[in-house]
Structure formats: C-alpha cells, structure tokens
Structure 1
Amino acid sequence: MEQKSNKTTVAEFYKRIVGQRDSSLINQYVHEHYIPHSPMGRDGRESLFEMIEFLKTLPPPAETKSPVKRLIGDGELVIIQLDISFMGKRMVVIDLFRVADGLLAEHWDAVQEIAAENDLMTDGALIINSYADTDANQLLVSNFYRDVFENHDTRLLNSYLTTDYIEHNLAERLDDYYHHSIKVHRIICEGDFVVVQSEYLKDSQSFALYDILRIENEKIAEHWSVQQAIPDVMPHTNGML
C-alpha cells in the first residue's frame, strides 16, 4: 500500500477529527508523545481530546465549505492556512505540523482576527506551482529577510518585490517589518510558496509571526501573514516557537 503524504495526513486530521469532531480518531493520527506549542492547551496529546470535546459543545458551523485555504508541505513539515468563523468572529489560522512516521508529532500555530477593513487576508493565489524551483525560492526569501529585515537595508525592499506585488494583510504589511526586530526560526517551501516562521518583537511585545510568500519570476508577488502575541505564561514549557 502506498504511504500517505504528510499533507494528506494533515488534511485528513482536519476533516475527520476537527471538522467532524471525532475524538475517537486522535490516536490514529497523533503521536503519543505529541508536543504542542500552542498557548491554548496543556502539554501532550490530551490537549487535543480536550479541544474536540469543547468543540462538541458549540453549534456546528453554518458554512459547509472547507476552511482550508492553503496547504504547503516541505519534508516532515506541513503548513495549513485556515479561514474560519469561531464564536462570532472570523479568524485566520496558521498551523504548522511536524509529521513523524505518518503521525502528527509536533504543532505550532498563530491566530488573528480578520477585521472588516482587512477582509482580504486569505484571498489570492491558491494553487502551488510544483514546477517552480523550491530551493531557489527558499534562498531568495532567506536573502530577503537577511538583507531587508536583519540588516535593515530598506533600499532593497522594492528590488525583491514584483511591480504588481499584492499585500493581503493590510494591518501588518511587509514594509512595516523593518521598523522592528525579526528572528527567523524556520523557512518552509513548496514550489512557488514559501512560509517563514519567526519571532517578531514590536513595542516590547514578542509575537509568533507566520508569513506566506508567493514567488514569481524570482521576486515576491504576494504576501499573507498571521501574528499572535506570545503570552508570558503558557500551560506548558514547550514555548510558542
């Protein structure tokens, strides 16, 4: 039997466990030594059982369409971007999973409310160009963060962007970043999509920041992002990043 891809495993987890609220399947999809980095739950796999049991207490979502906007895989790491309605609010969620031996072994996330004036946060290109040069695109983004944000050379910003560059997060644009400090943790790439996980220090507050960048003709053509403040106290010792 052909082994499932890591992206398929993550997609099935959302559909069968989160979407259908079936906690009985958690052990089939999640490693017994699962490591959560989310500030919303306790350590270990039990946090997922608690989450699903909580979801069962809420009314089912009115919309039946999938909340998944983008699914990007790079080896053992899988990024999923979701556009969801939750407790009266519209939220954009980024989840990052590390998959080991076909099971979800580690998880990071960030959640941000989509304000009415910023309702295009998840719009834009959806299809990954599998023919794009993944390694070259990953290097391009790595150089971009080094040159513009680490070295604070704002003169180079536009040289990395296409002339028709599209910004999807009007509340936190790429060109706002160089005013603050960014420490990159991971760069994940599939085809023409590159995801950067970083710690963003703004006004003495640290944020978990996830940027999705689409590359076109060796330049950045589109940008999506999600950020969430890192709390001083978390229900585990794994950290948010």
Structure 2
Amino acid sequence: MKGAIRWVSPVLLAGSFLLSTNAALAANSPTRDVVQEESNRTLVVNFYDSFFNKHQVQEAATVVAQDYIQHNPEVPDGKAPFVGYFSGYFKENPQSRARIVRSATDGDLVYLHVHSTNGKADRGQAVIDIFRVQDGKIVEHWDVIQAVPEQAANSNTMF
C-alpha cells in the first residue's frame, strides 16, 4: 500500500517522545560527585546539630559564608544577622531542639527533614530545610515549616 497512512497510538507516540527526551537530558546531565555531596551533607548535619541542638551558635557558624543568603522571611541575610537572630532566639528558648529525621543531597544542595520542638510538651513543627553549599561553606538556605497538629485526618505521622 504505497502512500497509505498508518494509525499510531497517541500513547505510543507520547511514550516514544518522552523516552527520547529523557535519554537526551540524561546524556547532557553532569555526573554527580557523590563524595562531594556526602561531604556537604556531613558539613550541614554537623552544623545543624551544633547550632540548633547544642546552641553553639558562634562555633557552628564558622561554616556559614559572610554573605549568606536567607530565604526564610523572618530571618535576615548575612552571617552576622543570622547568628544574632538565633543567639537571641536560643536565649529566650533554651529548650529548643531540632531532630534530623532524614537527609539527602543533590549536587550542591543538602535537604533535611526535621522535627523541631521547643520543650517536651511541644508537638513541634515539621521542617524541610534546604542548604546550598559552596567551597565548604553554607551559602544559602530555604525552609518550609508546618505545625504538627493535635489531630490528623490520617494515621500517618509527619516523620
């Protein structure tokens, strides 16, 4: 049948397109440096424990860049303002603790899933902290914070 048009499933066409697109993206993606990512994760986890659990603010902040960029709207940019903010916070909230539940990396980013509390009676907050590390320094931070409710619509925990 010369010149006949054959019917091809739209699902098959879409799947072929996605496979070829993903293959092209994978071929152009940089190789992950797992050793560097683990070094970044260790740096952030150690910083986090010293800073948010032991409240050793000055000592822990040695790994924070001077021009630290902060995306939490309640905390100022820069290392000195960041340290000053939390020095005051921990003075007023000495029972404040942040338990890292899990961590992950992707390139220069380190992700922490945290249960943050302010005393034993506090249900706390579920926190996702994202840190960007460059040349052995924490240079940028984002977070998403959600209160742990008294009752949930399901039986799953937030951690």
1:133-212 matched pairs, under 5 angstroms: none
2:103 paired residue among 71, 80, 102 = 71
Counting aligned pairs with the same residue, the percent is 30
Partner of 1:32: 66
Higher-helix-fraction structure: 2
Per-residue deviation at 1:15? Answer: 1.1
2:89 paired residue among 54, 59, 63 = 54
State the TM-score, normalizing by the size of structure 1.
0.45
Q: State how far apart, in whole Å, the 1-side matches of 2:73 and 2:61 are.
A: 22
1:19 paired residue among 46, 49, 53 = 53
1:121 aligns with 2:158: yes
SS in 1 for 2:158: coil
Structure 2: which 5+ runs fail to align? 1-34
Q: CA RMSD in A?
A: 2.3
Structure 2 contact 66–80 (Cα < 8 Å) conserved: no
Structure 2 contact 51–61 (Cα < 8 Å) conserved: no
Per-residue deviation at 1:96? Answer: 0.4
Structure 1 contact 91–113 (Cα < 8 Å) conserved: yes
SS in 2 for 1:42: coil
Deviations 1:103-125 (A, max 9, x none): 10000001000112236111xxx
Structure 1: which 5+ runs fail to align? 123-241
1:116 alignment partner AA: E
Partner of 1:8: 42
Aligned residue pairs: how many?
Answer: 118
State the TM-score, normalizing by the size of structure 2.
0.66
Partner of 1:137: none
Higher-strand-fraction structure: 1
Relative distance call for 1:97 and 1:36 in structure 2 (3 A) is: same
1:102-117 matched pairs, under 5 angstroms: 102-117=136-151
Relative distance call for 1:89 and 1:57 in structure 2 (3 A) is: same
Per-residue deviation at 1:68? Answer: 0.6
Deviations 1:27-70 (A, max 9, x none): 41101110000011112112321213311222325x8xx71111
Q: State how far apart, in whole Å, the 1-side matches of 2:104 and 2:157 are.
A: 20
